[in-house]
Amino acid sequence: MAKRKREITEAKIERFIKEGRGQGTGNDYIPWLRVQDVPSEGRATRGVGWTTGRRHELLSDIERDYCYLLDYSDGVSDIREQFPLLPLEETKLIAERIGVKHPADPKTGIAIVMTSDFLVTYKEKQYARTVKPFSELENERTIAKFEIERVYWTERHVDWGIITDHDLPDILIRNIEWVHKEYHNNNVSELGVFVIQNLQKILSERLSSGENIARGCSICDEQLGLEIGTSLALFRHFIARKIWSVNMNERIIPSHPAKDFMINVTEEKQAKGG
């Protein structure tokens, strides 16, 4: 199989622009960089977002974790990752003005299009965020590139900031990760309203009484004649959809009771969520 050429050329930049990269919003947004465009260290991921309904191009663990937090936030209405700082001439001029060398491809020497890891729409206001491990903040060259990025967004009156691994609440993120893939659960429509309502009634009563999650789900599966694991998947679905809630700041452990379990909406509305 031929190796993918990742070198940056002027023709490649023009092609990306023609492809619409960095353009669009929501489900229609196309990231400037995709997983296949950058060298992989085994940490790049593609996850379908709750907020956008599209597959996100996440190039590191810390980007993935931050995206989980954004997805979980009620105030976030759009998430655009790998957002390009265009036009290229502007960042080149900024670099020259502040006395910083503009990033360039090491092989071709062509100036690269810089990107912000995330451009987030939160309560109708935009925020640009760079997401990096705290250890990288000690690198002078990294800080210099951040300064180009900061000036670019400041001139657009967009709030810019740096998120590090020290800023991310690990327990909350791991809980979001555990329920994330069940946000869209086909069983909701396949099982039908009657079964879902019965499942919610049986399981919520057991969880409210303090029974541990795994046992409550197992008994629910048995009583309703469901495939083993169905009720646990739906428990995760209800938490992801915020139909039910638990203490997300304490690790959810199936062999333990659901901490601070609460029903947030009526059973009628619950059964219609899919």
CA dihedral 19, 122, 239, 249 (to 10 degrees): 120
Does the structure show a pLDDT above 60 at 270?
Answer: no
For the residues 173-191, what does the mean pLDDT come to? 93
**DSSP state letters, 172-234:** HHHHHHHHHTTSS-THHHHHHHHHHHHHHHHHHHHHHTT-BHHHHHHHHHHHHTPPTTHHHHH
- In 3D space, the residue among 11, 125, 117, 122 whose CA is nearest the CA of residue 71 turns out to be 122
Asked whether the predicted pLDDT for residue 268 surpasses 50, the reply is no
46-84 confidence digits (pLDDT tens): 779 999 999 999 999 999 999 999 999 999 999 999 999
Check if the beta carbon of residue 121 is closer than 8 Å to that of residue 69: no
Q: CA angle at residue 8 from 22 to 61, to 5 degrees? A: 60
The answer, yes or no, to whether residue 93 has pLDDT greater than 60, is yes
Residue 204 has pLDDT above 80, yes or no: yes
pLDDT over 90 (residue 274)? no
Residues 6+ apart with CB under 8 A from 109: none
Radius of gyration of the chain from its Cα atoms, rounded to whole angstroms: 22
pLDDT at 251 over 80: yes
Q: How far is it, in rounded angstroms, from Cα 80 to Cα 26?
A: 8
Q: Count Cβ neighbours within 10 Å for each residue of 97-113 and write b for 16 or more, e otherwise.
A: eeebebbeeeeeebbbb
* DSSP for residue 257: B
Residues 6+ apart with CB under 8 A from 156: none
| Domains of the chain, earliest start first | 10-168 (3.40.1350.10), 178-272 (1.10.10.10)
Give the percent of the chain with pLDDT over 70. Answer: 93
Q: How confident is the model over 225-230, as a mean pLDDT?
A: 96
